[in-house]
Structure 1
Amino acid sequence: MDAVEQVLTQAQWRARAERHRNRMLHWTQPHHERQRRDEKHPVLDFLFTCYGPGQNQLLLPP
């Protein structure tokens, strides 16, 4: 499959970044809240600790 290059306007990029951030907050916000309360979740703690990017890396800068 060939890669397609697409140049976005600033408004398009910001809209896509905001949608991405909202999708990631769905998963990362509960984890942040549990951490603040010092609550443990065996599965999600394992996933955020041992796999892939950290929860903060999943969020694009605003």
Structure 2
Amino acid sequence: MPQKIPDFAELLGGAELTVCAQILQAADRTAFYAALADPVRHYLNQRHSPQNFDASL
């Protein structure tokens, strides 16, 4: 069985949105963060879209 690779949220725990927000805020000031901005936006759109909502929580 292949080893499960933890997703971004599992690695960050409760700080997930804080880290994403900081990356997006720094994107216009730093090339390193600018390169991360689109993947972070994509991640947030997928993670927080209605079809991924778990009503059992």
TM tier, shorter chain?
A: 0.3 to 0.5
Give the structure with higher Rg (CA): 1
- Report the structure, 1 or 2, having the larger helix content: 2
TM-score (norm 2): 0.35
Q: Which has the higher contact order (CA 8 A, sep 6+)?
A: 1
